[in-house]
Amino acid sequence: MSEPISGTGAAATALTGVSLYGLLTGADYGVLFGAFVGATYYIASTTDLSHIRRIAYFFVSYLSGVLCSGLVGSYLTHWTGYTDQKLDALGAVIVSALAIKALTAISNYDLTNFLGRFRGGSGNANK
């Protein structure tokens, strides 16, 4: 079992790094923090992964949240009609939390059968 201070220290260090990155680059802090929260949610909810895989999943989830936050935020604004503030931070949380779940679902799905439907050569040619 890991020591509580090591997990807390790692989270504090990561959050400090995200904050400094946001301050130095002028990026939207809400998006950066939202992506961090979404990525942390998935990593904290899984227990059967190695530490290297957790770190890789965290970075993939975090980057997808930051990169897709504007698109998802604009869709959320359109769907809800809420225009007082931008919903990019909420979009970052949603994308970060769902990115790894979607990628693992895709990797477990048999894509050759799915893509064979669109190639035209997998069906019966006599029909």
Do residues 74 and 48 lie in contact, with contact meaning Cβ atoms separated by under 8 Å? no
Which one has a higher pLDDT value, 61 or 23?
Answer: 61
107-120 tens-digit pLDDT: 777 777 777 777 76
Residue 123 has a pLDDT of: 52
Residue 6 has a pLDDT of: 67
- Three-state DSSP at 123 gives coil
35-75 tens-digit pLDDT: 888 888 878 887 788 888 888 888 999 999 999 999 999 99
Residues in the chain: 127
User: What DSSP element (H or E) covers 91?
Assistant: helix 88-108
Residue 71 has a pLDDT of: 94
How far is it, in rounded angstroms, from Cα 94 to Cα 74? Answer: 13
Residue 68 has a pLDDT of: 93
User: What DSSP element (H or E) covers 74?
Assistant: helix 51-80
DSSP string for residues in 20-61:
HHHHHH---HHHHHHHHHHHHHHHHH--SS-HHHHHHHHHHH
Q: Is the pTM of this model over 0.75?
A: no
On the question of pLDDT at 94 being above 60, the answer is: yes
